[in-house]
A and B are shown apart, each in its own frame.
Chain A
């Protein structure tokens, strides 16, 4: 029983990491219809920048600065590479964001080198764990789950109750109509890139003590992020969180049945099956209609 719970905790840890990346995907997807293949790179940039900055300032400040810097990079990417394209095709956008992902990764390699970095644990050390009835949980897991939950709640409030959030949603529902209503759709797109870069970077900082970050962490995380985003149904962030938890726990239990080296095979095979059987995702319905457009 304790063992079972221990696995579930491990699964939630994986799940939180995936959820953060998936939320970032969804924000950009919703406003632009683009899947940003460079999303994982934002996570990496956040973790790496915070690690460098923490030499010069206290950890919380370093994290905030890292988030802001990544946000600016996100905005720059949108302005330089995406903003001025006139009705780009899906294929073209896929290739551009893949190119960006490669470019950011290689730049990071030449800036930070090949080594791994880890931020210190926010509370306690790497061996501290909380014993809950025989189940051991690292305090960083609480941080990760806590901060991610807050992010999800804040996003919910933002999209539903603020003007900017409503504008972004309008943009996602119907770009043309939104523009006719006087919403600057281009600015909304830039803003969605900033928001998702910020969330990615924050995620990078939170998981850095748990997983370590190196220049090539991005693509690994991105792949899991996609999987989760698709499982939940593209564009649906709440569903993505649920899907992330399901996938995390499934992965954690898959170790019993399969060599751990095939863990990724399991999760991606699940994604493929979902794509084939119910492309709108486990929880999707309206998204199914959107699928037709692409």
Chain B
């Protein structure tokens, strides 16, 4: 418990240090990309849990992210004014679930309250993940990869092909999300520092949750599944049940990330659902070292941050591809290792036993 507490508080201290540093050097513009990075990291830690701890690959997590983001964007921007009189809308309005605002042309806009939209979005994703998770997680290896990839492509195709979701243009004009009085997730310049802390705060909550989970009974069960699924099953661990729970949990993380980032950016486009995005997330988890939550966070921080700053120019995808290949060829256990020496000693033994099971 205490080491966990130390890790998290150390991490939080680093977050504060970065902010203070940007304040001193008058470079707070870095916070924009760092905030976005935090939300992507939230998805990544969820995926890390699934790939690294439960041993199940998913090439469709961008799909969950996009469903969350799109539902929230749609509900908070779709104008209900024309059907205001309908009893259902009136009822929703009465319970304060709708807000009035102004649309692009200055006309009246009646749309869902961001909190309501957020809850609907996350719940939808959880339900979708639960429904597809059952049959998908029965598959293994290539079949699992293909099935999750297929799911990702379906989501991408649907958001790209549906006029109501803006087709290729996506949805823009998404309002800020006031999560608490005075705390708004939104892109306007003034709330930059606040947004930074909110985003990293959410990530820290997520990390704490997962760290607790890993060191709990569930975590031990998961590592047993990862190690040898049949053996775990024989020991009386309900493997299918655990895998499904982790799958749904990681989808939930993706959905929350999608919702918050969409409100932060004020827009979402089909690129968020693309297969390339899913591949990137898997890449980050792989580079971070599959079973290292902190490694995943750290790699996500570096790679997303530089990517979002456009540091790789037109080689953005190529850089990811090269890193991915190099890591998988030469360091399949990831770049961020906890004990380099121990690694060197046990490298051969461990890599053998692990690969045989994956």
Interface residues of A (CB under 8 A from B): 35, 81, 85, 87-92, 94-96, 98-103, 105-107, 109-110, 219, 223, 226-227, 230, 234, 259, 261-262, 264-265, 268-269, 271-272, 275-276, 279, 291, 293-294
Given A89-B356, A96-B325, A102-B320: A35 and B142 interface contact (C-beta under 8 Å): yes
A-B contact count (CB 8 A): 124
Q: Which B341-356 residues have a C-beta within 8 angstroms of A?
A: 352, 354-356
- B206 part of interface (Cβ distance < 8 Å): no
Chain A contacts for B151, CB-based, 8 A: 272
Pick 9 A–B contacts, CB within 8 A, sort by A: A95-B286, A100-B321, A103-B318, A103-B321, A103-B325, A259-B161, A264-B157, A275-B135, A276-B136
Instruction: Check A272–B142 contact: CB distance below 8 A.
Output: no
CB distance B355 to A262 under 8 Å? no
Residue of B nearest to A261 (CB): B161
Tally of chain B residues near chain A (CB < 8 A): 46
- How far is A72 from B276 in the complex, measured between Cα atoms in Å? 27
Q: CA–CA, A106 to B357, complex, Å?
A: 33
Quote the shortest CB–CB distance from B235 to chain A (angstroms): 20
Q: State how many angstroms separate the Cβ of B41 from the closest Cβ of chain A.
A: 20
| B158 adjacent to chain A (CB < 8 Å) | yes
A81 lies within 8 A of B153 (CB): no
Interface of A is mostly: helix
Question: Whole-angstrom distance between the alpha carbons of A234 and B322 in the complex?
Answer: 28
Contacts of B51 in A (CB 8 A): 91
Assess whether A95 is in contact with B147, with CB atoms less than 8 Å apart.
Answer: no
The answer on a CB contact under 8 Å between B321 and A262 is no
CB distance from B222 to the nearest CB of A (A): 16
Q: Are B143 and A279 in contact (CB under 8 A)?
A: yes
A35 to B145, CA, bound (A): 10
> B interface, by DSSP: helix, strand, loop or mixed?
helix
Interface flags for B285-301 (1: CB within 8 Å of A; 0: not) read 01000000000000000
Residue contact B146 to A226, C-beta cutoff 8 Å: yes
- Report yes or no: A272 in contact with B147, Cβ–Cβ below 8 A: yes
6 other contacts beyond A91-B358, A275-B143, with CB at 8 A cut-off?
Answer: A81-B329, A96-B325, A96-B328, A107-B318, A262-B158, A275-B135
Query: Given A92-B332, A102-B320, A106-B318, A279 and B139 touching (CB < 8 A)?
Result: yes
Q: Of A85, A90, A109, which is in contact with the most chain B CB atoms at under 10 Å from its CB?
A: A90
Which among B142, B161, B276 is the interface contact of A294 at CB below 8 angstroms? B142
A residues less than 8 Å from B136 (CB atoms): 276
The answer to whether A106 and B315 have CB atoms under 8 Å apart is yes
Cβ contacts under 8 Å, A85 to chain B: 329
8 A-B pairs with least C-beta separation: A294-B141, A102-B321, A261-B161, A106-B318, A89-B358, A99-B324, A99-B325, A276-B135
